[in-house]
Amino acid sequence: MMRSYFILAMCVLFLIQYFVQSEWLLYILAVFASVAFMGSLTLARTVPRVFSILMFIAGVVLTGLKGQGLDAIAQGITSNIPLLTLLVLVPLLSIPFKMGGFFDSILIYLRRYQNKPGKMFAGITVVLFFLGPILNLGSIRIVHELLKDLRLNAAFLSKAYLVGFSTTILWSPYYAAVGVVLLYLHVSIGSYMAYGFGIAVLFLLIGNVMFGLWAKRNKLETNYNESGAITLDHRKRMKLLPVVIIALMLITIAAEYVTHWSMLVLVSLLALVFPLLWCMFSKQWGIFKHQIIEYRDKAVPVMNNEIIMYISAGFFGQSLKGSSFGQGIQVFMNQLSQTSFLLFALFIMITMVCITFVGIHQVVVVTVLATQMDPVTLGTSKEILAMVLMLAWSASSILSPVNPINLLVSNLVKRTSIDVGIRDNGLYLLIVSAIGLCILTLFH
């Protein structure tokens, strides 16, 4: 419990420091981040732990070799704290949806299509497309919990979960992957969404068309229990749900345009304010208290891998700036881009997939590359470069047998990580990646 309070205090301290811009608050935040890093090391998995320790040590050494002092160390250690704050606070957005009974209504509507695989697949992917930004991996858990009694085909679920959630990774301002890319490339969410949302919708449509062909070829049939009655309350909730989600997105985009504050800060503030406002209007204080306790005890303490990887990767990425190694990366990427932008984008994707395949988090690759690449020098725009990184992040999340998304789905559907990533979704990823790279090269 105390550890959860400490992590939450670190997030609040970051938000205060963002507006105050005090040097001594930055040092305190660096101390908090260092303590959180050390405290999470023993609780994290082996591979993230080893790489995090190596990156943290490398960050200290490189910063020292450049002759920089405590200021640079504090800046490096805290560089990814905005992302951690987003990651820690965004689950709070799910509380109003739980209190409002939206998940029960989703189940009732999905059960209507239990004898129609194509519509069921479309329903699951669309639900994940919109809930994924707010619930993160929790959206897959919740949908699976709603559908577990239907005894759906394992390959069907594997395809539905990963097609639906992988598209979320491409566009959501509430997802840390988008946050880290936009942070380092200094891209506004408004300009990015034109690309991210459009490509995500295209991939969602492609996934559904490919599933239709797969279901017809495999003669997929369903035969399950009758669904429950759809009441007036369920209809009201299902009409209100997209309105609330779209309103949250528009508020975020509009607030960034007006205030010019960091998107990560705006989403974090929204995650704090939205549940409180919902509770004030609904007067469900008892349920709200229970949800907060559950969030404190279950959601916050399990972020050990993310804490150590984000802090160490941020420190390492910042320490590379101005180093000969960092300059070497710049020269190589610039030459590759000038030779062929398609080859450059393909290199980023293959590199991301290979590195995550052995258990290294995507944030390491993105932090290192994004801190060393200049879109102008590469001959492209910030938005296109951001989309290339996000396309690689999305593909590697599905293919890597040790990525949390792949592992979660494989555990839920009782199939191996290789089956889930390559056998069930490999062809889909190959097609959408090829289409995505061609589109980005054309716009480039």
Each of the 444 residues of the chain gets a pLDDT tens digit; together they read: 688 899 999 999 999 999 998 889 999 999 999 999 998 988 888 878 888 898 899 888 888 888 777 888 898 899 889 888 988 888 888 889 888 888 878 877 777 777 778 888 998 999 899 888 777 777 888 888 778 777 788 889 999 999 999 998 898 888 877 888 888 888 888 889 888 999 999 999 999 999 989 888 877 655 445 455 677 877 888 888 888 888 888 888 899 889 988 888 998 999 999 999 998 888 888 889 999 998 888 888 878 888 888 898 888 888 887 777 777 888 888 899 888 999 999 999 999 998 888 777 788 888 888 877 888 888 889 999 999 999 999 999 899 887 888 888 988 888 888 999 999 999 999 999 999 999 999 887
121 occurs within a structural domain: yes
340 occurs within a structural domain: no
244 occurs within a structural domain: yes
One-letter amino acid identity for 281? Answer: F
Two tokens, residue 376: 């102008």
Look at residue 131 in the predicted model and tell me its pLDDT. Answer: 84
Two tokens, residue 256: 């960034």
The answer for residues whose C-beta is within 8 angstroms of residue 187's C-beta and 6 or more apart is 181, 382, 383, 386
The dihedral region occupied by 415, where left means phi > 0, alpha psi between -120 and 50, and beta the remainder, is beta
pTM of the shown model? 0.84
CA separation for the pair 56, 79 (Å, rounded): 13
249 occurs within a structural domain: yes
274 occurs within a structural domain: yes
Look at residue 26 in the predicted model and tell me its pLDDT. Answer: 92
Domain residues for 207?
Answer: 92-282
DSSP labels, 87-137: HHHGGGGHHHHHHTTHHHHHHHHHHTTTT-HHHHHHHHHHHHHHHHHHHTT
Q: Which of 208, 217, 218 is nearest to 431 (CA)?
A: 208
341 occurs within a structural domain: no
CA separation for the pair 337, 346 (Å, rounded): 10
CA separation for the pair 340, 346 (Å, rounded): 10
Q: Which of 103, 271, 259 is nearest to 173 (CA)?
A: 271
17 occurs within a structural domain: no
329 occurs within a structural domain: no
* Domain total of the chain: 1
